[in-house]
Amino acid sequence: MPDKYEEEARLLLQDALQDPLVRIPGSLKPAYFSYHKQLTVKYLLQVNLFAQVAYASYTLADILVLNDIMNLLILTKLGYTLVILLITIWMYHFYRNLPVFDLLLPTSIIGASAIWFFNLNQSESPHTLIYQYASLVFIVLANLCVQIRFWPN
């Protein structure tokens, strides 16, 4: 007899979960939101870390184009990356406020862009103007791709 009820309950649950607007029972909401927060925070950590590694890797391209300010490039870009990495890891371990953690990536892109243009203005390389135009296109594309937004369920 219990097997019959378990099978019926399983079928009812599977049917209910097919509905994209399924409501979460009140007794399960705290557990669901806790689970959802854990997944979202972990995902945001991965995205932020990947973005910082990608930003740091562009230091190589900057060095090739703006080789007259190599020391400044390394100091500013890698220093900024280190600071943002430390903030990201700190927020993951100690300050798990999803909306604030979600704003870290767009905010860090703004700071990275400011550092990039600062370095471009310091250089006297003949390729600076072309590189400024290309960097504007890259920054616009990067901001369009940042679609990781926290939406409450």
Which pLDDT band, with edges at 50, 70 and 90, does 13 fall under?
confident
The two tokens of residue 46 are 């991965």
State pLDDT tens for residues 74-121.
999 999 999 999 999 999 999 888 888 888 888 888 898 889 889 988
In the prediction, which pLDDT does 86 show? 95
Contacts of 84 (CB under 8 A, 6+ apart): 48, 52, 104, 108, 111
Reading the block at residue 82, the tokens are 């280190």
How much is the pLDDT for 74? 93
The tens digit of pLDDT for each residue in 121-150 reads 898 888 888 877 777 777 776 666 665 554
- Return the biggest CA–CA distance within the chain: 83
Phi and psi at residue 126, in whole multiples of 5°? -70, -15
| pLDDT over 60 at 56, yes or no | yes
Mean pLDDT of 38-52: 87
- What pLDDT, on the 0 to 100 scale, is given for residue 73? 92
Cα 123 off chain centre by:
30
Positive or negative torsion for Cα 133, 138, 140, 141: positive
Average pLDDT of 3-18?
76
Neighbours of 79 (CB within 10 A): 11
| Mean pLDDT, the chain, whole residue set | 82
SS3 readout for 26-41: HHHHHHHHHHHHHHHH
Say whether pTM exceeds 0.75: no
Q: Which pLDDT score is estimated for 153?
A: 45
| pLDDT at res. 26 | 76
